[in-house]
Structure 1
Amino acid sequence: MKLLILIRADASQSIGSGHIMRCLTFAERLLVRGGEVVFVCRDLPGNLSEYIRSQGFEVHLLPLDEACDLALRRPEQVWSKTRSEADAEQTMGVLKKYGRRIDWLIVDHYGIDHHWQSLLRGGVGHTLVIDDLANRRHDCDVLLDQNYYHNAADRYHGLVPKDCSLFLGPQYLLLRNEFYKAREDMKIRTGEVYNILVFYGGADATNETEKCLTGLMDYLGSTIEIHVVTGQSNPNKDRIKDICTSRRNLYYHCQVSNIAELMNNADLAFGAGGATTWERCFLGLPSVVTVTAENQMETTQAVSELGAIWNLGWYEKVNVNALVKVAERFLMEPNKLEGMQKKALDLVGVRGSSGIEQLVEAISQRRVN
């Protein structure tokens, strides 16, 4: 009998696409090992259900209701017990449709804690949580946090069961196959900048993309290629597209399937913190990072202190002038970009995220300790 895996994760214009994208990476790896993977997502504005289906996975949409308002306004806030119970009941309704026990429940959601997870325990064999906040208790067998922190080993003390297996650090990066292929042909950068990538995540709710473009266009003119990427859920994508079509050196891309190729072609990137930080590091792409969500702060600062990225700080304090200054600095001092590439690659290791392969294999064989 096939291994049956259910993933509970959401995407929206405020939540962004990161949770779904890293779960899709997990799902693809489990699929090739013979697993059956289904997604359960809330029908939020900007959800990625159609994209998930286009990748070959079944999606069950939970209805949008008034209680979802908080999730839209405060995506990082843990749900109330009442909200957890309501969502868990709806999710259990999906489980029952399969008429068998779910082998693995994978949860990647900032709103969900041990209350929700405990309610699902009876219908699942094992529970795996993907997290990076370490701000709430979990009832799980496995916890995965792929980020780098100074105190990684201590962050989840007291937040997970004593027998929970912890998989912590960049050696467990969830990267799509396109990144491994791009790594084989990775660009060796000299520090000279001819191609810039601008990508602030799929939704970019704070519109950092337009802010960055304003600065780069004012300073660079038309001398350097600038590739701009948005997601389908970006509310400003049409305006950004219009800006790009007004300049011959600006190239617009929306909801791409070749982001690794675009990263590999670039000499410098401007983007947000979060999962794309690790994608850029994996390909040795020097990057200027703006923190656009509270959950990005700790990791962005820690990675910046290692010299693997340049941290501009909290988005509200980043203006056009700050972007121009950092662009000027790196164009004038190419050796700094060359050094950043080396430190980024050192951080993820020679083999990149080989550790995640061991975890996926263990899950597919039902033998995680």
Structure 2
Amino acid sequence: MSIVIRADASQSIGSGHIMRCLTLAARLMGQGAEVSFICRDLPGNLSEYIRSQGFEVHILPRDEACDLPWKRPGQTWLETTWKSDAEQTMGVLKKYGRTIDWLIVDHYGIDHHWQSRLRGVVCQIMVIDDLANRHHDCDVLLDQNYYHNAADRYHGLIPKDCSLFLGPQYLLLREEFYRARKDMKIRTGEVSNILVFYGGSDTTNETEKCLTGLSDYISSKLEINVVTGQSNPNKERIMHICSSMPNLYYHCQVSNMAELMNKADLAFGAGGSTTWERCFLGLPSIVTVTAENQVETTQAVSDLGAIWNLGWYEEVSTASIVKVAERLLMEPSKIVDMQKRALDVVGVRGSSGIEQLVEVIFLGRVD
């Protein structure tokens, strides 16, 4: 079976789309599928990292016109027009010389126009989305996020015969998280280890803001692990800050995130896909919303008491970080309760959700 994934990463897009696609790609390759990626050459792309994970990557050229001020909606994600991206993608697919069984698309800049154009060169299309703000022409749609109105969000946006996989039971998590879940840390409310990770790019530099707020709490009794992605434009500065203060440990583009999360008693981070990794391991977290697509789901999970939502990043100050941190440190019972509620959000289905997805892709079976 031949499967191609169209997704991008950049300093503005972040790394979440690629990372969750890599998780699915590893599962599919483990079942014998040939999986490759198509990515655009954007600043902060993860093409070399994808190759290091054992997958072929076809690079679409950077569109020099994408820096012009008249970009239309969607071009800020694709960095070109949908027609141009579709034609370039089609050109790559035609060079394969074999049938493409599935095209998996994880991209906010792609909708039914692009997907319909590619129908002639692939057998089936799967979409990974969480915005529910545009029409899709696809056979399967996955949205692994939690929303109050999850069942209704895609009504009228997908074909009637499209199979929907909705909710955290279909989380795309790397195998390391399932291993960590079996030996999951049970938090007592006491905090001796903190994890700071605001996503792969963190263009708003929430990491430094958080470290500034936590600086008065750094002591021999508190270990803080700070993680950045390779595309983080401030990673050198963050590394310098960590090296100049005791008990701050810097990590870049890690492959042991589950281990770091399992060690932590409390986390500071952004909304987005990392929310589900933290919830899956019951890690209480203080979350800052750093992108529009994080607003709805972050609030929904916060309403359940599974995370503490600080709100939009421009309104989050070091003082507000300190205020929440002090409250949680003074009330250990809140940390224990947050762990329980985080685990309740994702349930206990283990890897069965993603296994069902893989079965659909290989057998076309929907239970």
Instruction: Name the TM-score, length of structure 1 as normaliser.
Output: 0.96
In structure 2, list runs of 5 or more residues that go unmatched. none
In structure 2, how many angstroms separate the alpha carbons of the residues matched to 1:77 and 1:352?
Answer: 37
2-side partners of 1:78 and 1:255: how far apart?
Answer: 25
**Is 1:78–1:112's contact at 8 Å kept on the other side of the alignment?**
no
Q: Match of 1:319? A: 317
The answer for the alignment partner of 1:242 in structure 2 is 240
1:131 to 2:96 alignment: no
Q: Distance in 2 between matches of 1:332 and 1:172?
A: 35
- Separation in 2 of the partners of 1:22 and 1:70? 30
Deviation at 1:219, TM superposition (A): 4.0
Q: CA RMSD in A?
A: 1.8
2:209 corresponding residue in structure 1: 211
Query: 1:278 and 1:208 mapped to 2: Cα distance?
Result: 19
Residue 365 of structure 1: CA displacement?
A: 2.3
Is this contact kept in 1: 2:289–2:311, CA < 8 A?
yes
Indicate the SS of the match to 1:147: coil
Task: Assess if the C-alpha contact under 8 Å between 1:14 and 1:75 holds in 2.
Answer: no
Structure-1 separation of matches of 2:137 and 2:75? 18
Match of 2:264 among 256, 263, 266: 266
Counterpart of 2:277 in structure 1 is 279
Paired position in structure 2 for 1:8: 6
**Which residue of structure 1 aligns with residue 286 of structure 2?**
288
Q: Which runs of 5+ in 1 are unaligned?
A: none
Deviation, 1:76, is: 6.2
C-alpha separation in 2, matches of 1:13 and 1:255: 14
TM-score (norm 2): 0.96
- The AA in structure 2 aligned to 1:125 is C
Report which stretch shifted further, 352-361 or 3-12. Answer: 352-361
1:329 and 2:327 correspond: yes
Structure-2 change in CA distance of 1:78 and 1:132 (3 Å): farther
Q: Is the 8 A contact 1:129 1:144 kept in 2?
A: yes
Instruction: Show the counterpart of 1:347.
Output: 345
1:225 corresponds in structure 2 to 223
Query: How many Å separate the matches in 1 of 2:244 and 2:121?
Result: 55
Q: Is the alpha carbon distance of 1:344 and 1:74 closer, same or farther for their aligned partners in structure 2, counting shifts above 3 Å?
A: farther
Shift of 1:364: 1.9
In structure 1, distance between residues paired with 2:225 and 2:49: 22
Q: Structure 1: how far apart are the matches of 2:310 and 2:105?
A: 31
- The CA deviation at 1:100 is 1.9
Which aligned pairs between 1:57-206 and structure 2 lie closer than 5 A?
Answer: 57-69=55-67, 83-206=81-204
Change (3 A) 1:32 1:79: closer
The CA deviation at 1:68 is 3.2
Q: How many residues align?
A: 365
Q: In percent, how many aligned pairs have the same letter?
A: 80
Note the alpha carbon deviations across 1:297-341, whole angstroms, 9 max, x for none. 000000000000000000000000000001101100000000000
CA–CA separation in structure 1 for the residues paired with 2:205 and 2:347: 33
- The alpha carbon displacement at 1:79 in A equals 7.2
The change in CA–CA distance for 1:240 and 1:78 in structure 2 (over 3 A counts) is closer
Partner residue in 1 for 2:249: 251
Whether the 8 Å CA contact 2:193–2:265 is kept in 1: the answer is: yes
Aligned-pair CA distance for 1:64: 0.3
2:21 alignment partner in structure 1: 23
Question: Per-residue CA shift, 1:154-197, capped at 9, x if unaligned?
Answer: 10011101111110000000000000000011001101000000
Q: How many angstroms apart in 1 are the aligned matches of 2:324 and 2:73? A: 31
Q: Match for residue 302 of structure 2?
A: 304
Cα offsets for 1:65-90 (capped at 9, x unmatched): 1243379x99966879x811111110
- Supply the AA of the counterpart residue of 1:16: G
Letter in 2 for 1:101: T
Distance (Å, rounded) in 2 between the aligned partners of 1:116 and 1:222: 55
Q: Find the aligned partners of 2:364 and 2:120 in 1 and give their Cα distance.
A: 17
Deviation for aligned residue 1:367: 3.5
Change in 2 beyond 3 A, CA 1:333/1:79 = closer
SS in 1 for 2:42: coil
- Tell me by how many angstroms 1:223 deviates: 3.7
Distance in 2 between the 1:180 and 1:138 partners? 31
The 10-residue stretch of structure 1 (115-124 or 91-100) with the greater mean CA deviation from structure 2? 91-100
1-structure distance, mates of 2:262, 2:288: 20
AA at the equivalent of 1:248 = P
Name the CA shift for 1:259/1:288 in 2 (closer, same or farther; >3 Å): same
Aligned CA distance change for structure 1 residues 313 and 213 (closer, same or farther; 3 Å): same
Task: Indicate how the Cα distance of structure 1 residues 19 and 163 shifts in structure 2: closer, same or farther if over 3 A, else same.
Answer: same
Whole-Å Cα distance in 1 between the matches of residues 85 and 263 of structure 2?
A: 43
CA distance in 1, matches of 2:109, 2:102: 19
Which whole-Å CA distance do the structure 1 matches of 2:12 and 2:204 have between them? 9
